Amino acid sequence: MSNLGVMAVTVLLAVPATAALLLALLPDYRIGARLNVSAALLSLLAAAALLWMKPEPNLYLRVDDFNIYLIVLNNLVSFTTSVFSASYIAHELETGRLTPVYLRFYHAMYQALIFAMNLAFLANNIGLMWVAIELATLITVLMVGIYRTRAALEAAWKYFILGSLGIALALFGTILVYLAAQPVMGEGLPAMAWDQLLAGAGSFDPALLNLAFVFLLLGYGTKAGLAPLHAWLPDAHAEGPTPISAVLSGLLLNVALYAVLRFKMLMNANPSALAPGPLMVGLGLLSLLFAGLMLYRRGDIKRLFAYSSIEHMGIITFAFGMGGPLANFAGLLHMTLHSLTKSAIFFAVGHISQVKGTQRISTIRGLTVTHPALGWGLVAGVIAIAGMPPFGIFMSEFLVVSSTFARQPLLALLLVLGLLLAFGTLLWRLHGLAFGKPDSGPAMPVQAGILPMLAHLALVLIAGVWLPGPLVAWFHNVAVLLG
Amino acid sequence: MHGLAFDIAHFLAGGMVVVSFLMLYQDRLSALINVFALHSLVLVLAVGWQATIQDAHHLYVTAGIALVFKAIIIPTALHRIVRRLGIHRTLEVVGGVGLDMLAGAALVALAILVMLPVTATTDALAREDLAFALAVLLLGLLLMITRQNAVSLVVGFMSLENGLVLAAAGARGMPLAVEISIAFSVLIALIVIGVFLFRIRERFDSVDMQAMDTFREERRK
């Protein structure tokens, strides 16, 4: 059994890495796009196989209850995004925004990004996890700047500086964790292996651990787009290719949050260390309220949804900060559903901005009339992300709010205020985008692949109506683990 | 652990903080890059000394990588970029050098006040090293914040990373893999930076960060 598990893990890492190399060498972009999709599919299958057979953890890699569903989610969304990307880039090539050489680079980087994210999730060693996240950061920086316009360069540069800064702070935090662990665990690798750290965390020096967590929260929090360190996020989403926006919002933010949660579990395991909850609640609420207010004046459609990602990361961080089985359950559910919904929205937005030739909200009107499939897809996505039933996000947001009301009514008021702000703005914007009077502007014909979007929305809808038993059981398990 | 060995380690780590201060008041780009090379050189000595007294041979590798990349290749590359972009001119410092130095002194005090009480249980060597490393890190941040020029931003970031390597070297027995990867990432970062600087120059006719600030959405109308 476990041999197959080891094989699955190997596939998860080796396939994207090999595909990245191959794609860098392959001149034809059509074959490249197909190879990209098949490699992503292969990783998805390997990830699914892990559900049934887990390998034994070693000092470097580990598959446990917490990361396994995130790995599956990660590979699922990378796969659907690669399908979307295939139809998206064909159009970019026609309009000349990308040349074949850049496309080759784009595909190679896409697989390298999947490799880095899989490695970050699989890593048992906190140093290795850091390396993987740094790699993912550098790759996305290059991807964001791929259009080489002034705005894209500015966005990539800003992302590079802020991202590296966050990564540097996280490394300092990682070193501090090692220093806290070293007197107890001895020198060398065991003092960096996460499962051994967790076992010994009770006897670590609490003061050192506290300081480490502050650095880690700030560092990885920057990568998760938490206010006030979010400045890179809207620019990077707006100026890069849309498949990358989908992966950034849907997956990379999750990776950073996952890292924070791992260290939160360490903090929880040490009774005399600072409680990490209030810090996370504070950052989460700040992000939620800030993004709620900022949503109002956005003029660029991708930027609008980027701020919505900050909002949702705020909600998730808030939920995990509150802690307890119910709030953690809600946080995990929200993390999953936000990934699916937000990437579906970006799939729609990508094609919409290609059709209209612009990202400005004021010039995109009446989509349900001119492009029914894309328009209604966007309507469904925005309704879902705004937290309306029957979609799953309604349920997870409801759980966050109700569990907070039971424990901290005042905080719940702030939370509801933020949610309502975002809700109102998104629906108001949606009205113009989807139902306004269509203008007679030029509409470019686009081969829109709407299947990935529909698949995601269907999953979110099903989650809102009925959650499968094993999934609920898993969420419960992990919610208890997270403490 | 005490006596001369400790004093030398202390001296070298403290030397890095002093060189960080030197960077704060440089007003020409090429001078700034030279001081950065010196910063890296002191780092190499500090890490090398740690390798000797901890009897940790892998740290010699770290020191070697730092020597080749940070003290030689990166400064040379940055000098070349500066020459090719033709930006020898004077650096502008937000708020003036005096204010900068005061802020720097405050940050060093902060680093020591934060670090020393927290690390009371670890051994004296790691303790001092960590306090100095945090000081170097904060000074690097300050350098990044107060300069307008993209190249000095990069130098600030690299000096910040020197602080991280110092911290990693001070942590007894930290696995080598991490240090190699740090060095590796710095190398990639340099490539990224190089590519960007040329492109920024090409598109903006300047590497002044203020020129880039006009593109935020609020002002684009």
Query: Could you say which of B160, B171, B215 has the minimum Cβ distance to residue A178?
Result: B171
pLDDT tens-digit series, residues A203-228: 888 888 999 999 999 999 999 999 88
Helix residue spans in chain B (DSSP H) = 4-24, 29-54, 58-65, 74-85, 97-118, 124-146, 150-170, 176-204, 209-212
Task: Give the sign of the dihedral formed by CA B86, CA B74, CA A216, CA B113.
Answer: negative
Can you tell me whether residue B147 is helix, strand or coil?
strand
On chain B, the residues whose CB falls within 8 A of the CB of A207 are 117-120
Confidence class for position B220, pLDDT limits 50, 70, 90:
very low
User: Rounded to a whole number, what is the distance in Å from the CA of B219 to chain A's nearest CA?
Assistant: 11
Confidence class for position A469, pLDDT limits 50, 70, 90:
confident
Type and span of the H or E element at A60:
none
d(CA A482, CA A439): 51
**B44 token code pair:** 């190499």
Letter string b/e over residues A326-345, b meaning 16 or more CB atoms within 10 A of that residue's CB: bbbbbbbbbbbbbbbbbbbb
User: Touching check for B219 and chain A: CB below 8 Å?
Assistant: no
pLDDT tens-digit series, residues A257-266: 999 999 999 9
On chain B, the residues whose CB falls within 8 A of the CB of A105 are none
Q: How large a percentage of chain A has pLDDT more than 70?
A: 98
pLDDT of residue A445: 65
CB contact under 8 A, B171 and A179: yes
Chain B from 88 to 117: CB within 8 A of any A CB: 114-115, 117
d(CA A68, CA A53): 11
Determine the residue type at A417: L
CB contact under 8 A, A189 and B175: yes
The secondary structure of B34-92 as a DSSP string is HHHHHHHHHHHHHHHHHHHHHT-THHHHHHHHIIIIIIIIHHHHHHHHHHHHT--SBPP
| Domain edges within chain B | 4-219
Asked whether A61 and A9 are in contact (CB, 8 A), the reply is: yes
Mean pLDDT of A64-84: 92
Query: Could you say which of B168, B175, B215 has the minimum Cβ distance to residue A188?
Result: B175
Query: Could you say which of B119, B137, B185 has the minimum Cβ distance to residue A208?
Result: B119
pLDDT tens-digit series, residues B25-83: 888 888 999 999 999 999 999 989 988 888 878 888 888 888 888 888 888 888 887 88
CB contact under 8 A, A175 and B167: yes
> In this structure, what is the dihedral angle of CA atoms A357, A360, A365, A367, given to the nearest 10 degrees?
60
Confidence class for position B201, pLDDT limits 50, 70, 90:
low
Query: Could you say which of B118, B137, B196 has the minimum Cβ distance to residue A157?
Result: B196
pLDDT at A249 over 60: yes
User: Rounded to a whole number, what is the distance in Å from the CA of B116 to chain A's nearest CA?
Assistant: 10
Mean pLDDT of B136-146: 89
d(CA A246, CA A241): 9
User: Rounded to a whole number, what is the distance in Å from the CA of A351 to chain B's nearest CA?
Assistant: 22
d(CA B176, CA B168): 10
User: Which of B199, B204, B221 would you mutate first to test chain A, the one with the most A CBs within 10 A?
Assistant: B199
Determine the residue type at A307: Y
